[in-house]
Chain A
Amino acid sequence: MERDLKIVPQRKAAAEGNFYPEKPDAIGPGMNERVQRLRKLSVEVEPSLSIERALHETAFYRENYGKYSIPVLRALNFLDHCQKKTLYLGDDELIVGERGPRPKAVPTFPELTCHSVEDFHVLNTREQQRYTISEADIATYAREVIPYWQGRTVRERIFAHVPGEWQAAYEAGLFTEFMEQRAPGHTALDGQIYRRGMLDFKLQIAAELAALDYLNDPEATDKAEQLKAMDISCDAVILFAERHAELAETMAAGAINPQRSAELRKIAEVCRRVPAHAPSSFHEAIQMYWFVHLGTITELNGWDAMNPGHFDQHLAPFYAADIAAGALTRDQAKELLCCFWVKVNNHPAPPKVGITARESGTYNDFTNINIGGITGDGKDGVSEVSYIMLEVIEELHILQPGSSVHVSSKTPDRFLNAACKVIRQGHGYPSVFNPDVYVVELLRQGKSIKDAREGGCSGCIEVGAFGKEAFVLTGYLNVPKVLEITLNNGIDPLTGKLAGIETGDPLGFTSYDELYGAFLRQLNFIVDTKVQVSNYIDRMFAKYAPAPFLSVVIEDCISKGKDYYDGGPRYNTNYIQCTGLGTTTDSLAALKKHVFEDRSFSMERLLKAIAGNFAGEDFLRQTIINKTPFFGNDDDYADDIALQVYHDLLAAIDGKPNVKGEAFHLNMLSTTCHIYFGKVMGATPNGRLAGKSISDGTSPSHGADTHGPSAVIRTLTKLDHTMSGGTLLNQRFLPSLLKRDEDVARLGQLIRSYFTLGGHHIQFNIVDTATLKAAQETPEDYKDLLVRMAGYSDYFNDMNADLQQEVIERTENESF
């Protein structure tokens, strides 16, 4: 069924960043040979598809569907797979466990979205983000899996339900919907699993079951089913660990090398303890998290995998105790962390289909390790483990996990400078977050001060109360597209079909305010259209695809007897990610200045120019590009428009009720979606040509910011970031700006300035255009080029041509 590991890397080794010279004695970076070998394997193995989970699940559903409540069915299905799945325990490994039968083998989740034979052929042969699968496996899938799930998947049921207006707007690219093929995710954990093992959770579950009040609580029966499911899922992960312990013991007995034999016995010991019990050592703490991580991403395929949250803070007490007891050295701790880092890299994102595949083209599954920050009681969270993690990031230089440093006013300069030195390497990580601002964001959403401080950023830039919240990203909103259809009276100019509502013929608008009013009506309609369907999908997951294991580790699900997707967590937020603030602002500024104020061009001429992609209208286009105040230059003309748009996005989204009795909020994030959104748009009034990407996050449009990073920061901090659930600012720096140690200090001070003024997040790409262009010419010479995209890092060579072009076009700060 599964292909032999030996034949997997058919593509040239280095498909994903194997940048070291091909000499037998040079196997790449890493603190020692073990780490180097693990890294090499992880980097070189090509992502592949495993049909094992789908086969187990399909057989299980055929046999058992209808015999149990849905939560219990889901938990038993998970238990069944944990019992049967092929284990992998590789040479050199210290941290063990894979979701698939081997590194980078990704399962499918047919209960949500069932890939077709054609999907598999595309995945197997496409140039970028390829996932290999054998013809034999495709045939098996077609025979065993596909027929059962036809008409039964969550995705098909969603699309059968959605109203025509939603379909029209969705197909026009006005928004995306995250949950149409993957489960709601973006989940991060708090410190609970380092204090309580699965047996402790089982005791709590038993107590809650015993206390159910069937006399007075109409939900008692549902809660009972939910709690039973949680209990079963605890058994599933314990069993999964026990199987690893047995395998390690068997391998230890057969190992020729006495050192490896001892390591395997140690692994067995660790797997016998966690996750059943709370960890008692640094090694066990990492393995504890890893088993929980694997459990959550095997049970379902929530967006952004899973995130340990403030991992350095969670590990710090174990590190201190082990060091004090002489049971661990700094190097051993670092080696274990390296092994963990490689483990995360072994888990590419599950392959996507349809529009979601177009908007999210990456292997990255967005696990984001938060480093530094503040503790629950408001103290500085930096420890020796934080510094070790920075070393790991710098030395390993791999795609996953993503990492971020969290710099509060209490964070020492020493740590910030150490982080800036890693940023200078140009790996794209870490990005930088401001806890002093995001704690206020979380407080505004109603979190307690302690829960807010223990929160942070998962995935890209979105904030949540780690371990206590379902903060569900529902999809991106294409704000410039809303303006585009407004300028066409609701029609999508690319298809000629109605995509929104009729808001009036723009040729009849006599003032900027009239135009803006039409845009606003359109915006509210589109947001409401999206929210209705997001609410519907939320209930689909709550009813048909609950996540009992995830519910065990997120606080209050057990005490409420409710699933993670059904309002079980202490907090339940839905986010809409707004994309293209820069493009929208610049387009409105161009219309306001040139059409309504200076009257340099009539509306008719501008609309015709846009419709013709500015063909023959170079004078008009150049005038707009060079003679319009654009967002990102500390110019109030443009920045006031941005403030108005931001304010109206908040008015349209923030506080809108979700189905869990809480609310929608917004964040300003694009990830890679600004490229997809650009492709589904014609030219825009800011001079942007048809098909080109729109601006990302809250960053200025490409090339629009011409006054350097301090002006960008002044512009950005006119927005009140605390009203959002995260903003994103990309700044590209050339290496020449960071040559000297003083320059690195300046970078840290630039970050401090941004954060003092109220910025949420900033990230840096340290590259130069010549390098990037050279990389396009001879990609094989630039395999090491890791580039920070909007919210994550990717290898330049793994990006498609559009993404590469986008990176090149981002504003350089060359002249400084």
Chain B
Amino acid sequence: MSQGLVFDIKRYSINDGPGIRITIFLKGCPLHCLWCHNPESISPKIQKLFTAAKCIGCGECCRVCPVHACRLTSEGVITDGSLCTLCGQCADVCPTLATEMSGRFRSVDDLLGIIEKERPFFDQSGGGVTFSGGEPMQQPEFLSELLEACGRKNIHRAVDTSGFVKTETLLRVAKSTDLFLYDLKLMDPDRHQRYTGVDNRLILDNLKALAASGAAIQVRIPLIGGVNDDSANLEATAAFVAALPGAKKAVNLLPYHDVARGKDVKLGQVRDLAELREPDAAEVALAREVFCRFGLNANVGG
């Protein structure tokens, strides 16, 4: 039984596919999107998060650390990354959850037990499980095992993907996936590279291949003011989606919210988010119109 690294589980998730769902967030992502809401999802390793505002300075973490990596200062606890083994004992004793470990190895059975608890809600709503991330296909064997196990239990399975994966992995996963939530960010390769750290050719080719395989797909577009809300990009995106093989894909526009900063601080990292802007309601409506003009069913949110 393989294990996977999971950084969050959300019950009563109503924005990640049909019905009432449970969303399992797998850790690790090949993209580094500037606007990433879950920066702790990017690293494929366990990470230590620290919230200075919650720290009461009890020093318990320093006392239990077996390698003496924690030091209590006037600004809170400082961890020496070169010594820390990520054993998590500091988080276990932290009374206020100021220190938390992001990422926990979980078995397929463990997760299946958690997913099964939500069955009454799936039954009433036509919901199911969504695997998100990170990029869930970064842990392909684990994901496949989970998807197949859920399939045997007749649980509806959605996979939320960046599309930046090997085509053969994607097509293999597609065999045990009921719905893809496929993220498209930018059509211009250079801008895509600049904002996400990777080229978009593989992503676009994969989307075509996935559509050609007959998989059910919802296209999700984060709408970020100043990045991808210009009409040229929106029209190019809409044209691309409209030309995909198979049935017309539903499009979900996800307006950007400025919530990432707090998480950066927890991870001890800094991003310059100055060029990102929350689109206002009129801009969102205009963006939606572009997709509708191309004959696509576009909605705002989930």
Contacts and interface: CB of A to CB of B under 8 A. Distances in A.
Contacts of A709: 11-12
B95 A623 contact: yes
Interface in B64-122: 94-97, 117-118, 120-121
Interface string B125-168: 10100000000000000000000000000000000000000000
Contact of B12 (A619, A710, A752): A710
A618 B11 contact: no
A619 B118 contact: no
A272 interface: no
A619 B124 contact: no
B12 A708 contact: yes
Interface string B276-302: 000000000000000000000001011
Interface stretch (B13-21, B171-179, B192-200, B260-268): B13-21
24 contacts: A622-B95, A626-B94, A626-B96, A626-B97, A708-B11, A708-B12, A710-B118, A710-B121, A737-B14, A740-B301, A742-B14, A749-B19, A749-B20, A749-B121, A749-B124, A749-B127, A750-B12, A750-B124, A750-B125, A753-B125, A756-B120, A756-B124, A815-B10, A816-B14
Contacts of B123: 753, 756
A813 B10 CA distance: 11
A739 B20 contact: no
A739 B58 contact: no
Interface in A733-783: 737, 739-740, 742-743, 745-746, 749-750, 752-753, 756-757
Given A743-B14, A749-B127, A753-B123, 4 more contacts: A618-B95, A619-B95, A622-B95, A710-B117
Nearest to B96: A622
B121 A750 contact: yes
B13 A816 contact: yes
Interface string A685-726: 000000000000000000000011111001000000000000
Interface string B3-33: 0000000111110000110100000000000
B132 to A, nearest CB: 14
Interface residues of B, number: 26
A634 interface: yes
B232 interface: no
A707 B11 contact: yes
A266 B125 CA distance: 50
A710 B20 contact: yes
Contacts of A815: 10
B117 A634 contact: yes
Nearest to B56: A618
Interface in A45-97: none
A816 B11 CA distance: 8
A394 B199 CA distance: 52
Given A619-B95, A622-B96, A623-B95, A816 B124 contact: no
Contacts of B299: 740
A559 to B, nearest CB: 45
A545 to B, nearest CB: 48
Across chains A and B, which 6 residue pairs bring their CB atoms closest together, nearest first?
A622-B95, A749-B125, A623-B95, A708-B12, A752-B124, A749-B124
A710 B10 CA distance: 10
B60 interface: yes
A647 interface: no
Contacts of A410: none
Interface string A209-238: 000000000000000000000000000000
B124 A708 contact: no
B19 A746 contact: yes
Nearest to B58: A619
A740 B125 CA distance: 15
Contacts of B117: 634, 710, 714
Interface in A616-637: 618-620, 622-623, 626-627, 634
Interface string B212-239: 0000000000000000000000000000
Contacts of A746: 14, 19-20, 125
A619 B301 contact: no
Q: By CB atoms of chain A within 10 A, which of B56, B117, B124 has the most?
A: B124
A684 B159 CA distance: 45
A441 to B, nearest CB: 21
Contacts of A813: 12
Nearest to B22: A710
A710 B11 contact: yes
Nearest to A623: B95
A743 B121 CA distance: 14
B189 to A, nearest CB: 34
B37 to A, nearest CB: 12
A816 B22 CA distance: 11
A468 B144 CA distance: 60
Contacts of B22: 710
A222 to B, nearest CB: 53
Contacts of A622: 56, 95-96
A344 to B, nearest CB: 34
A423 to B, nearest CB: 15
A755 to B, nearest CB: 9
A388 B299 CA distance: 31
Contacts of B10: 708, 815-816
A451 to B, nearest CB: 30
Contacts of A710: 11-12, 20, 22, 117-118, 121
Nearest to A754: B120
Nearest to B122: A753
Contacts of A756: 120, 123-124
A619 B61 CA distance: 12
A627 B95 contact: yes
Interface string B24-61: 00000000000000000000000000000000101010
A752 B120 CA distance: 9
Contacts of A753: 20, 120-121, 123-125
Nearest to B114: A634
B212 to A, nearest CB: 29
A619 B20 contact: no
Contacts of B58: 618-619
B151 to A, nearest CB: 22
Interface string A467-482: 0000000000000000
A738 to B, nearest CB: 10
B25 to A, nearest CB: 13
B85 to A, nearest CB: 22
Nearest to B127: A749
Nearest to B54: A622
A626 B95 contact: yes
Contacts of A816: 10, 12-14
Contacts of A750: 12, 20, 121, 124-125
A623 B96 CA distance: 7
